[in-house]
Structure 1
Amino acid sequence: MTVAHPDERFDERQADPAPRRGRPRHRTRRVVRTTAAVLVLAAAGAGTALVLAPDGGGKAGGRAASGLPPATAEVLRQTLKDTRSADARLGFGTERTAVGRLPGTLTRLPAPGAEITRGKTLYAVDEQPVVVLYGSLPAYRVLAKGSEGTDVRELEENLVALGYTGFTPDDEYTGATARAVRRWQDDLGLKETGTVEPGRVVFTAGAIRVAALKAEPGDQTGPGRSVLSYTGTARAVTAELDSADRRLARRGGHVEVTLPDGAVVRGTITEVAGVSRAAEGQKKAGTKIRVVVGLTDARARAAVRGYDEAGVHVTFTAATRENVLTVPVSALLALAGGGFGVEVVEGSTSTYVPVTTGLFAEGRVEISGTGVVRGAEVGMPE
C-alpha cells in the first residue's frame, strides 16, 4: 500500500493545543488527501479510504486527535443486504432449437404455442413423425441390438413410460429392447426395423412449448437445418447480468420478481449460463450471465396467469447480514500499519479505532471493533 510522503504527513507539534469547533474547514481534517493516499476497496459497493501516516493526526486505538473531522455519521445497527436489480422478461425460460437430422421435406409442423409431451410428434419429414422423448443426452447415433451406453438406458426408460415393456431399463440394447421398439414403430406408422435412427427422436428435459418456427411446410430439411425453437411449459423469468455480478446468480437461490401491476412474488434460480453478446456498435463481444428464474409456488403461478410475455423486474440478493453495526463506506480509514479504522468522535476530541470489516452493501460496510457501538459518531471526509 502506498502512503503519503513523509514531508506531507501531519506533524502533531504544529497542532493547536486546544481544538475548537467552528474552525475553518480546511484545517480541521489533518489527514493527507492525495491520489497516492487513496485505497480502492476490492469489494462490491466499496468506496475509498484515506491512508493515515504513522503520526497522521492520532494513533489507532490510542490518543485523542488534535482536530475534528468536518462531518460525522452515526453507527447504525441494521440488516445489510448485498442486492442488485435487473430488468427481465416473463415467458417460459430459455429457448432451444430443434435441428433436423433426417433428409427430406417438412410435411407437418406444430403451431407456435403448442405443447408437446413425451411420445408425441414434434414435426414430420416425408410424412414420418419425429418424436419427443425425455432425456438429457441428445440422440447422436443409431441404436440397435448390441448397443450399450447411457443413451440406451434413456431410450428404454421412455419406452417403459409409454407402455412398451418386456425388459428392464439398463445400458444394454437387447433383443427384448428391439422387440419393444418394433411395437413402438408400428404404433407410429414407421417401418418396423427394431433400430432407432438419429433424428427420429428429439430428447428434451420434459414437456415443451413451441416458441417459433424456423421453417415452413414444404421446406427441405436435413442435418444441421433448424426446424423450430422451443421452451419448457412452466412460466419463468429470464434476466441477464453483467459478468461482474456472477455472485448474485446461484442455482437454488431465491429472488423477488416485481410484476407489471406492482405485485411482488418469489422465484427460484433454476438455470445460470454464460452467453456472448456483441456490444452495440462494437465488434468485440462481451459476456453476460443469463439467469432463468422459476415461479414454482402457487401464489406466483396465480399472479402471472394473466400475462403471456411481459417485462418484469428481478431483485437478486447475494448476501444478508442481520443485526450488524454499519457505517458509510467513506468513513473507513486505511491505517498505515495495515487494516482499517474509523475516527470515533466524542465531544471535542476523536480517537482512531481499528475495525474489522464485513459485508459491503448499499453504500455501507459492516464493522466490528472495541469501542465501536451503536449510536457512536464517526468522522466523515469533506
Structure 2
Amino acid sequence: MSLVVLAGITVASATAIASTGVLGGDGDSSTPAAVSGPAKTAKVQRATLVRTETVDGSLGYGDATSVQATPAAAGQESAQGGQAAQSSGSGIITWLPDAGDVITRGKTVYNVDERQVPLLYGSTPLYRTLDIGSAGKDVRLLEQNLAALGYKGFTVDAEYTSGTAEAVKDWQDDLGRDETGTVQPADAVVATGERRVANVSAALGAAPTGEILAWTAGRRIISVNLEVQYEDLVVKGTKATVKLPDGTTVEAEVTDVGTAAVAPSDSGSGGGMSSDSSDAKPEDATLPVEIEVKDQKKLGRYQAAPVDVTLSADTRENVLVVPVNALVALREGGYGLEVVEKTGTRYVAVKLGMFADGRVEVSGPDVTEGTVVGVPK
C-alpha cells in the first residue's frame, strides 16, 4: 500500500484582534498596539513551491509478456518448396537466447532453420504479406525500422514501393534469408522497444509452436500502485526522485499511467491484502504507474528492490509564501497573518494556496514580499 505524505496545517487561534480594528473590534486607533510584538517572526518571501508525494515503488523489469510463434498468413510461401517459411509449426528452432539477454532493434529473437527472426520496434504486429503495392501502418512500421537500421533507397511512408523491396532484399541478405523482397508475418517479432528475456519456453530442435519465450522491458523501471484518489497528480512526464535501498537518489520520470484501476484483491498476495474483496472499498483501488530512470547506470547493480518514489505533483512559481505555522485562525472564519509594524501588530486575512515543505502560498492586499509576520509558538 502506498505511503502518501501530505502537508498538515497547524495554526494558532487569533482570539483577539489588534487595536487597529482592521478585521473587526472597536477600531479605536488612538490606542497603539503593543510594540513588543511576537517573540518570533518571519518575512513573506517570493518563491517556487513544489508539492511532492512520496509513495512505495518496486524496481524491476515489469511484467513479462509471451512471444508466440507466428501462424502462416494466407498464401504465405517460401522461395523454396512452396511451403510456409518460419511460421507456427514449420521448420526447426536452431537458436534461442538465454534468460537475461537484452534484445534491441534488428537483433535476433530466435532462429528457425538457421534464419534469423529479428525484433522490430512498433505497436502494430505484422499480420499479412507485405509486397510492392501494399499500403498501411504496418508498411510504415517496417520502413521506419529499416531506416533506423541504416537501409536506404526509399521514403518512410505508408507505401511499399520498389525502393522498399530493394531495401528489404538487403535486409534479408544480412539476416541470411532468401532475398525475396517481400515480408511475411513470421519474418520478425514486433515490440514497443528493447526487451529482456525473462525465460525461454521452446527447445532447440523443436518446431516453432506456441510460446517461444517470455520477455520484459529491456530497461529497469519502477512500478507504483498509486491510490486512485491521487491519479490527478501524475501524467506522462511528471518528474520523480527515486530513493534506492542504499539511500542514494536518482532522477526519474513517469512514462506510463494505466487507465484501468486494480482492486486491492487483484494486487496479488505480495501486497499484504486479503483476497476477500468483500471489505474492499473503491478508494482502496490502485492505478498502475511506470517510472523510468534514464541514466540506468545510476541504479547500480540493483535488479529488483523496493524503493521510495517522490513525485513532483504540482508546482507554483513566483508566489508569496510564509511558514505554515505563521497562519492564525480568525474568529470570523478563514486564516490570517499577524503583520508586524513599527507601531505594533495587526491581523490581516489572507487567501491560502499550495502547501509544500512546511510553507504555504498566501495572497491578499495586505501582504507583499518582505512583510514581517509573527510566528506563534
TM (norm. structure 1) is 0.65
CA distance in 1, matches of 2:336, 2:40: 11
2:139 matches 1:139: no
Q: Which residue of 2 aligns with 1:361?
A: 356
Distance, in Å, in 1 between the alignment partners of 2:26 and 2:124 is 69
- After TM superposition, the structure 1 stretch with the greater mean CA deviation from structure 2, 281-290 or 322-331, is 322-331
Q: 1:170 to 1:328 in 2, by over 3 A?
A: closer
Q: Report the equivalent of 1:41.
A: none
Residue 355 of structure 1 and its aligned partner are, at CA, apart by 1.5
Residues 256, 314 of structure 1: 8 Å contact kept: yes
Please state how far the C-alpha of 1:335 moved relative to its aligned partner: 8.7
Say which SS state the counterpart of residue 137 (structure 1) adopts.
Answer: coil
**Separation in 1, partners of 2:63, 2:123:** 15
Q: Summarize deviations over 1:165-202 as a string: whole Å, max 9, x none.
A: 44333321123433443453354344554332224322
Offset from partner CA, 1:114-140 (integer Å, 9 cap, x none): 122322221245765432023343333
Alignment partner, residue 322 of structure 2: 326
Write the distance in 1 (CA, Å) between the matches of 2:345 and 2:153: 85
Task: Choose which of 209, 226, 229 in structure 2 pairs with 1:221.
Answer: 209
SS of match in other structure, 2:70? coil
User: Matches of residues 1-382 of structure 1 in structure 2 within 5 Å?
Assistant: 45=7, 61-64=22-25, 77=44, 80-92=49-61, 96-102=65-71, 103-104=88-89, 107=93, 108-124=95-111, 129-162=116-149, 164-210=151-197, 212-213=198-199, 215-217=201-203, 218=206, 221-222=209-210, 227-232=213-218, 234-279=219-264, 280-281=273-274, 282-283=276-277, 286-296=285-295, 301-318=296-313, 319-320=315-316, 324-326=320-322, 328=324, 331=327, 340-342=334-336, 344=338, 353-361=348-356, 365-372=360-367, 375-377=372-374
Q: CA shift at 1:302, angstroms?
A: 4.3
For 1:241 and 1:287, locate their aligned partners in 2 and report how far apart those are by CA, in whole Å. Answer: 5
Matched letter for residue 146 of structure 2: L
Match of 1:273, as an amino acid? Answer: G
Question: Would the alpha carbon gap of residues 276 and 221 (structure 1) be closer, same or farther in structure 2, given more than 3 Å must change?
Answer: farther
Tell me how large the CA RMSD over aligned residues is: 4.5
In the aligned structure 1, how far is the partner of 2:290 from the partner of 2:300?
21
Question: Any gaps of 5 or more consecutive residues in structure 1?
Answer: 1-43, 67-71
Q: CA 1:291–1:161 in 2, change beyond 3 Å: closer, same or farther?
A: closer
* Counterparts in 2 of 1:345 and 1:121: CA distance versus 1, 3 Å: closer
The amino acid across from 1:259 in the alignment is L
Equivalent residues, number = 319
Give the Cα separation in 1 of the matches to 2:247 and 2:318: 27
Q: Which amino acid in 1 is paired with 2:183? A: V
The percent identity for this pair of structures is 36
Which digits, 9 at most, give the CA deviation of each residue in 1:4-56, with x for residues without a partner?
xxxxxxxxxxxxxxxxxxxxxxxxxxxxxxxxxxxxxxxx7576999x9xxx9
The AA in structure 2 aligned to 1:257 is V
- One-letter code of the match for 1:355? V
- TM-score for both structures, normalised by structure 2: 0.65
Separation of aligned partners in 2, 1:374 and 1:219 = 79
Superposed displacement of residue 369, structure 1: 2.5
Query: Which residue type is aligned with residue 376 of structure 1?
Result: V
> Counterpart of 2:59 in 1: which secondary structure?
strand
CA contact (8 A) 1:46 1:329 kept: no
Give the unaligned 5+ runs of structure 2. Answer: 1-5, 28-38, 72-87, 265-272
Taking a change above 3 Å as real, the CA distance of residues 129 and 59 of structure 1, as seen in their structure-2 partners, is farther
CA offset at residue 290 of structure 1? Answer: 0.6
